[in-house]
Every structure is written in structure tokens, then in C-alpha cells.
Amino acid sequence: MATFLDIIAPGPLMTIQDGGRPAARRYGVPAGGAMDRFALAVANRLAGNRPDAPALELTAGGVQIRFGAPMLIGLAGADLQAYLDDAPLAPWCSAIAPAGSVLRLHGRRDNWGGRTYLAIAGELTAEWAVGGAGTCLAGGFGGYQGRALRAGDRITVEPRSFTAADGMRWWPVERRPAYCAQPHLRVLPGPQHTMLPEAWEQLLKTTFQVDQAASRQGYRLAGATLPTHQLSLPSFGVVPGAIQIPPDGQPILLLADAQTTGGYPVIAVVIGADLPLAAQLLPGDRLAFVATDLATAHAALAEQAAWLATGPEDDESGELLAQAGAIG
């Protein structure tokens, strides 16, 4: 029987996101989907859904959501100080939200993390468009009316039945990416790195800061002006993780909603396994880059796939209660 979620307060940016539209890139449509696809997959696994199912991407805090019926939920990603009514809710866990209860996310803890994902056991109603159900903000389609959620919106849910044990699952720390306040993102050389060897070297020895000009499309990075060139390049394909150098020399890290082509030089590309770390940054946060190789990139991605395949743990040892007590 269908029920609903009421959005009381959406925070800075709340959207419905899924695993993205990678096949639609051939038509010029951004891949989109969750900024932190690992956290999305975990939230869905905790709720018993398929890993790429639509869920809510919650940014930075200031969120309030009311549940119209009892629901099994999965929460994964940044610790944004979540509370279910007055009870602290441990991150990276499942829980049962009673009818009428309110989930509140107060904001990041310890200056780390920008996004968390709320999955509902069952089916979250979303607009399916161009091969996916995630919100494409630039195109105005997918998700909920193709836009960010607002106070007063009501999202229809077809919940799945569950047991009390389903609400006591958690995701072990050792099976998560190395989230931290100032990540060192591993990069491979980009197609133009040989044209700009000094820029490549400076990229690897600079600590950057995420500029206020940051969005789901990409982050502009402050901290150094990298050498660029005056040559005119034909447009070529770009992907999330690409680091472009525009004419002003201030690098841009492309992310989930990145355009499909561009003409700026691409000096480096962040490996897929480290994109979740980049997704958890907010304006003012710092990051650095470290060179790696293709074999390491493949191995890191395979390791994360193995973690997701293993699935959550049951809380036989009281881990969830311990976590909740620690954050309360």
C-alpha cells in the first residue's frame, strides 16, 4: 500500500538520485546519479534494495523528513548528526522509522562530510527519463519534477514489509572508502599531461581548497594557478573525475553532473574508487592529489565491488547501540 515522505526542510540541496545514466552519455546527457555512489549502494543494501535504486541525496544538514507510515530505512555517507525524533541515529546503519516520526540531520560532525543517502525499503517513486530515475538539474528531468526538493513536497513510497531484525544492520568501517577531512585523491595522468609537465608536477605538490563555485557538476579549486597554454583544442570526451585547466589556470574537478565533452586541457583524472571521497567535500574543504597507476586503480575499484557484494552485518554484538551512544 502506497504511503509517503513529507519534506519539511530540504537543507541546501536534496534530490532523488540513483546509479546514474552512463549509457546516455552518447547523447550528450550527463551520467549524473549519486555524487557518492558507494554510499548510495550501501544505503540501498541496508534497506534491502538493489544498489542503484533511487534514494534521497541529502547535502550538508538542515534536513527534516516525516514518515507517513512505518518504514525500514538505510542511511549511509557523511555523519550529519542524524536523529530519528529525539534518538540519535548511527550512520551506516538501517533503522525502523515509526509512522509520524521525523528524521533530522543537523549538520556535519568534526568538519568532515557533505552528503548522506536515505534509502527506503521498497520503491521510491521517481520520474524515469533518458534511462534513469535520478534528478538531472541541468536538463530539468528525472527525480521529482526534474528539480531539487522543496519544503512541502510529498514523495510517494511503495514500502516493503520488514522485520525488527532488518532494522539492526550496519556496515563495517573496514569495508568503506578511506573517508577523511582532507583526502589525498589518487590520479592518473590526463590526455594533456605531457603538454603541461609543469602543471602536472604542481598539481601533485599543492594542497587545494574547494572554492565557493562548487556544485554537482564540479569543484573549482583554489590554492595554485597552474601553467596553461594558448593552443586551441578540439572538444573531446570528459568524465567525472577529470581535472581540467581553464585559461585562468584554476583547476576544475568534474563530478557526477559533468558535461560529456569539453575543450579545456585535462591534466589528470581521479580514479573511480576515490570519487566517493571527493563527493564528501564542501566549499572551504581541502584536498590534495597523489599519482597512481592503472593497475592500482583497477584493484581499488574491484576491492570496493567486493565490499558491496559482501553486504551488511547483523547487529549481534550491539554495535549500533554503541555507535548511537557515542554520537548522542
Are 122 and 28 found together in one domain?
yes
Are 15 and 150 found together in one domain?
yes
List pLDDT tens digits, range 156-171.
Answer: 999 999 999 999 999 9
Instruction: Identify whether 70 is part of a domain.
Output: yes
List pLDDT tens digits, range 281-315.
Answer: 999 999 999 999 999 999 999 999 999 999 999 87
List pLDDT tens digits, range 23-67.
Answer: 999 999 999 999 999 999 999 999 999 999 999 999 999 999 999
- The helix/strand/coil state of 144 is strand
Q: Is the dihedral of CA 229, 185, 238, 224 positive or negative?
A: negative
* pLDDT reported for residue 324: 41
* pLDDT reported for residue 319: 55
Neighbours of 148 (CB within 10 A): 19
* Residue 285 to residue 111: CA distance in whole angstroms: 8
Q: Residue 57 forms beta bridges with which residues?
A: 15, 117
Are 109 and 218 found together in one domain?
no
Q: Global pTM?
A: 0.95
Are 210 and 164 found together in one domain?
no
Instruction: Identify whether 177 is part of a domain.
Output: no
Are 70 and 153 found together in one domain?
yes
Instruction: Identify whether 39 is part of a domain.
Output: yes
Are 58 and 138 found together in one domain?
yes
Are 11 and 158 found together in one domain?
yes
Closest CA to 46 of 21, 77, 22: 77
* pLDDT reported for residue 230: 76
Whose cell is 552528503? That residue is 115
**Number of domains present in the structure of the chain:** 2
Neighbours of 259 (CB within 10 A): 16
Find out whether 51 and 19 touch, Cβ atoms under 8 Å: yes
Instruction: Supply 210's cell numbers.
Output: 574547494
List pLDDT tens digits, range 89-115.
Answer: 999 999 999 999 999 999 998 889 999
Domain span at 248? 184-306
Are 302 and 316 found together in one domain?
no
Are 263 and 132 found together in one domain?
no
Instruction: Identify whether 255 is part of a domain.
Output: yes
Are 56 and 146 found together in one domain?
yes
Instruction: Identify whether 128 is part of a domain.
Output: yes
Are 255 and 188 found together in one domain?
yes
Instruction: Identify whether 236 is part of a domain.
Output: yes
Instruction: Identify whether 178 is part of a domain.
Output: no
* CATH value at residue 288: 2.40.100.10
What confidence tier does 232 reach under pLDDT thresholds 50, 70, 90? confident
Are 160 and 143 found together in one domain?
yes
CA–CA distance from 247 to each of 5, 218, 239 (Å)? Answer: 45, 17, 20
Q: Residue 291 forms beta bridges with which residues?
A: 187
Instruction: Identify whether 179 is part of a domain.
Output: no
